[in-house]
Amino acid sequence: MNADMAPFVLSIQLAAMTLAVLLVIGLPLAWWLAMTKSPYKPIIEAINALPLVLPPTVLGFYLLVFLGPQGWAGQMWTALFGQPLTFTFTGLVVASCIYSLPFVVQPLQGAFERLDRRTVEASLTLGASWPRTFLRVVLPQARHGLLTACVLGFAHTIGEFGVVLMVGGNIPGETQVLSIAIYEHVEALDYAAAGSMSMMLVVLSFLGLLPLYTKSRKRRRLLREVTA
C-alpha cells in the first residue's frame, strides 16, 4: 500500500469500528436516557457530555493511565487477551468510543425524546414485540437522529488527534492515523505531504457533513443542539 494511504485507511477503519461499537452501546443508552425518570439521569448525562468539554489531552492522559499496563482496565485486558491496550489499534478503538460517545448518544437521545410515545404503545397493543416495535416504529421515526449520530460519530473519530496521540502513539500501520501522520509530516517539514493529507481530511469531513445540512430541517435542528 502507498505509504500515504496507510494512515487514511487506518482512520477509516478506526472510525467505522468506533461507530459500530458506539451504535451498539449508544442506542440502548440513549433510549434509557430519553425514557427514564431515574434520579441518576443528570449524572449519567453529565458524564456522557464530559468529552465535549474536556481537552483531548486530559481525556487522553486518564485513558493512558487506566488502559496502560499499570491501570486496572489495562491489567484486566492483558490478563484476558494476553496483550496490552495502549499503543495498539484496539486501544485506539476503546479510546475513540469514549471520546466520541456524546456525539452519538445526544442526537439519538434527542430523537427518542421527540418520539410520539403513543405510536410505541400502539405497536405493542397491536401485538408487536419490543424488537419489532424498535425496528419498525422507533427507528424510522428517529432516522434523522440516527443519521446525525452516524455522521457526527464517524467524522469526529476521523478528526481526533490528542486522545489518539496519548493512547496510541505514532506507530505506522498500527496507530498512525491521518491526523497524526499530518503532524509528523509537518514536524519533518514535509509540507507537501502534510498538505495533501490535510486536503484528504477536509474533503472527507466535508462529504460526510454535507448530507446532514441538505434538505432536512429536523437533522439541522439536531445538529445545532449537539454542536451548540
Partner 1 sequence: MRGVCVQATLQQGMFKLDVKAGFTAGGVTAILGGSGAGKSTLLRLIAGLEKAKRGQVVVNDEPWLDTAQKLFVPPQRRSVGFMFQDYALFDHMSVAANIAYGLKGPHKERERAVELWLACMQLDKLGARSPETLSGGQRQRVALARALATDPSVLLMDEPFSAIDGHLKSTLIDDLRDVVRDQQRTVLMVTHNVSEARAIADNIGVMAGGRLVRLGGADEVFDDPRAYEAALMIGWQNLLPVVWVSGNRLGGAWGALDLDRPASLDAAWIGIRPERIRIEAEPGTGLPSTVKAVREFGPIREIECVLGNGARLIVHKAWDAPVPAPGTRVGVVLPAEHVRPLVEGRSTLLADQMVAPCSTQKEALA
Lookup result for grid cell 414485540:
129
**From 123, 148, 157, 176, residue interacting with partner 1 (rule: CB under 8 A):** 123
Length of the chain: 228
Out of 121, 173, 203, 225, the residue judged to bind partner 1 by CB under 8 A: 121
Residue 86 backbone phi and psi in degrees, to 5: -70, 150
Q: How far apart are CA 184 and CA 176, in angstroms?
A: 9
The least CB distance from residue 70 to partner 1, in Å, is: 48
Q: How far is the CB of 83 from partner 1 (least distance, A)?
A: 45
> Measuring CA to CA, which residue among 7, 56, 60 is closest to residue 166?
60
Q: Report in angstroms how near the CB of residue 139 gets to partner 1 at its nearest.
A: 10
Q: Is 122 in the site for partner 1 (CB under 8 A)?
A: yes
Minimum CB separation from partner 1 for residue 135, in Å?
12
Cα separation, 104 vs 145, whole angstroms: 9
- Rounded Cα gap, residues 36 and 222, in angstroms: 20
Q: Contact with partner 1 (CB under 8 A): which of 85, 95, 108, 137? A: 137
Query: Taking contact as CB under 8 A, which single stretch among the options 18-26, 48-56, 69-77, 123-131 is the one that binds partner 1?
Result: 123-131
Q: Rule CB under 8 A: say whether 140 interacts with partner 1.
A: yes
> Among 160, 204, 171, which Cα is nearest to 84's?
171
Residues 89-118: x where in contact with partner 1 by CB under 8 A, - otherwise, as a string: ---------------------------x-x
Does position 225 bind partner 1 by CB under 8 A? no
Whole-number Å distance between alpha carbons of 160 and 156: 6
Compute how many other C-beta atoms are within 10 angstroms of the C-beta atom of residue 212: 20
Q: Return the residue of 72, 81, 130, 213 that touches partner 1, per CB under 8 A.
A: 130
Using rule CB under 8 A, residue 36 touches partner 1: no
> How far, in whole angstroms, is CA 95 from its chain's centroid?
10
Q: Quote the CA–CA distance of 156 and 144 in Å, as a whole number.
A: 18
Size of the site for partner 1 (CB under 8 A): 17
Should residue 201 be labelled a site residue for partner 1 when binding is judged by CB under 8 A? no
Site residues, partner 1 (CB under 8 A): 116, 118-119, 121-130, 136-137, 140-141
